[in-house]
Amino acid sequence: MPSKLMKTLFISLTTVGMLSVYGLSLSWAGGGQTLPVKQSEEQTPTQSQLQVVQSTSSSSQMQLAQQPRRQAVTKDQDSTSKSYYQTMKESITEPGKFELGVIGGDPLGVSAKLWLTPTRAIDAGVGWTLIGDDTNLQLHADYLFHNFDLVKVDKGSLPVYSGLGTRFRFGEDSRFGIRVPIGAQYITASRTFSLFLEVAPIISFIPEAEVDLNVGLGIRFFFFE
């Protein structure tokens, strides 16, 4: 009887132990299989995350693509404004355009100007010198160089000019000398007229050396358009 009981107890413990070992092995194997699944789930981004990443990358690409476009637009605007200004300058001062008007100051009389190129011209004037006790008739002619880029205005143009010429003065105090005019001329966009202001130092050497000065403000109208 005791031997049967011992055998039964031994068989029961052996069976329980085998079942326990089998259960532990199953749980171990199951744990080993679930770990990769969890890691893969953690490493694989969700669909919403992918959409956020894609939208972010697409927006950055659009910004990068827009930068050269903006630069190109800016360059096109600069080139357009430059070409417009160049065209305006050349149309205003085409070779052969002629201006005629009056000048006040010293001398007081008539002023004329003939454009040879878009930046060069010849001007001439005839009038009376009324400064001082003597009244003399003055004739002068100058070769002028114009700079249209120094001062820019919204409408029309405002070239600054300088040049070299001669001055003849006839009367009680006759003289002949070299004239160096410096001035600015505003030309309307419609090319109807122009306003000018100039200062011209004069070095006379006939009949004797003398330094003189002409200051004039005038208006001239365009002809032969």
Task: Examine the domain organization and report whether 133 and 87 are in the same domain.
Answer: no
Task: Examine the domain organization and report whether 216 and 139 are in the same domain.
Answer: yes
Query: Averaged over 184-198, what is the pLDDT?
Result: 93
CATH number at residue 189: 2.40.160.20
Instruction: State both tokens at 174.
Output: 């006759």
Higher pLDDT, 211 or 75: 211
Domain range holding 51?
A: 46-92
Task: Examine the domain organization and report whether 85 and 137 are in the same domain.
Answer: no
Look at 53-57, 80-84, 193-197, 205-209 and tell me which has the smallest mean pLDDT. Answer: 80-84
Burial (CB count <10 Å: 0-12, 13-18, 19+), residue 160: middle
The answer as to whether 170 is a domain residue is yes
Question: Which pTM value belongs to this model?
Answer: 0.60
Task: Examine the domain organization and report whether 122 and 87 are in the same domain.
Answer: no
Over the stretch 137-146, which tens digit does the pLDDT of each residue have? Answer: 999 999 999 9
Over the stretch 159-184, which tens digit does the pLDDT of each residue have? Answer: 999 999 999 998 877 889 999 999 99
Over the stretch 64-77, which tens digit does the pLDDT of each residue have? Answer: 555 555 555 455 55
Task: Return mean pLDDT, the chain.
Answer: 75
Instruction: Domain count for the chain, please give it.
Output: 2
pLDDT beyond 60 at 120? yes
The answer as to whether 34 is a domain residue is no
DSSP state string for the chain: -HHHHHHHHHHHHHHHHHHHHHHHHHHHHHHHHHHHHHHHHHHSPPHHHHHHHHHHHHHHHHHHHHHHHHHHHHHHHHHHHHHHHHHHHHHHT-TT-EEEEEEEEESEEEEEEEESSSSEEEEEEEEEE-SSS--EEEEEEEEEEEESSSS--SSSB--EEEEEEEEEEEETT-EEEEE--EEEEEE-TT-SEEEEEEEEEEEEEESS-EEEEEEEEEEEEEE--
Q: CA-CA distance, 104 to 150, in Å (whole number)? A: 26
Task: Examine the domain organization and report whether 133 and 188 are in the same domain.
Answer: yes
Task: Examine the domain organization and report whether 107 and 192 are in the same domain.
Answer: yes
What pLDDT score does 39 carry? 43
Band of pLDDT at residue 110, cut at 50, 70 and 90: very high
What pLDDT score does 191 carry? 84
The answer as to whether 31 is a domain residue is no
Burial (CB count <10 Å: 0-12, 13-18, 19+), residue 162: middle
Q: CA-CA distance, 183 to 158, in Å (whole number)? A: 10
The answer as to whether 105 is a domain residue is yes
